[in-house]
């Protein structure tokens, strides 16, 4: 997919893919997309900080990313321990 056809979103506004939009409507779609982002920023600025996207959904996303990172580390540690245990077992078995 060409990135030139993707207009970046902003937090709660997803990216806009103009690939399949008729070229005569693309300018309007892009303008509306930027207008939506502007309105979103305004609405977020009027919310209490505890209710804003970056402090609710964004926070949860960060927690999930950290959890995945540490789960990967735990799995790698477990795999290494399994290999070491396997080597020790095989050496003891051959004696």
Tokens of 46: 């009027």
Is the confidence at residue 71, as pLDDT, over 90?
A: yes
Query: Average pLDDT over the chain, rounded to whole?
Result: 91
User: What is the residue range of 9's domain?
Assistant: 1-48
User: Is residue 1 very low, low, confident or very high in pLDDT (cuts 50, 70, 90)?
Assistant: low
Q: Are residues 2 and 44 in the same domain?
A: yes
- pLDDT, residue 21, reads 95
The three-state (H, E, C) secondary structure of 25-78, written as one string: HHHHHHHHHHHHHHHHHHHHHCCCHHHCHHHCHHHHHHHHHHHHHHHHHHHHHH
Q: How far apart are CA 33 and CA 28, in angstroms?
A: 8
Q: Are residues 43 and 67 in the same domain?
A: no
35 and 60 inside one domain: no
Are both 44 and 64 inside the same structural domain?
no
pLDDT of 45 reads: 94
- Please indicate, yes or no, whether residues 1 and 30 belong to a single structural domain of this protein: yes
The model's pTM: 0.63
Instruction: Convert the pLDDT of each residue in 34-55 to its tens digit.
Output: 999 999 999 999 999 999 988 8
pLDDT, residue 54, reads 85
Q: What is the pLDDT of residue 89?
A: 83
* Phi and psi angles of residue 2, each rounded to the nearest 5 degrees, phi first: -75, 135
Shared-domain flag, residues 41 and 3: yes
What phi and psi values does residue 18 have, to the nearest 5 degrees? -100, 10
Q: Are residues 42 and 7 in the same domain?
A: yes
55 CB-contact burial (10 Å; exposed 0-12 / middle 13-18 / buried 19+): middle
Count how many domains the chain has: 2
pLDDT at 94: 76
């Amino acid at each position: 997919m060409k990135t030139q056809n993707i207009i970046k979103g902003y937090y709660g506004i997803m990216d806009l893919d103009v690939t399949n939009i008729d070229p005569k409507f693309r300018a309007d779609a892009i303008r509306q997309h930027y207008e939506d982002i502007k309105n979103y920023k305004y609405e977020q600025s009027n919310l209490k900080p505890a209710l804003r996207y970056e402090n609710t959904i964004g926070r949860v996303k960060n927690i999930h990313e950290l959890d995945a990172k540490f789960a990967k580390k735990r799995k790698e540690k477990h795999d290494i321990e399994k290999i070491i245990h396997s080597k020790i077992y095989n050496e003891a078995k051959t004696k």
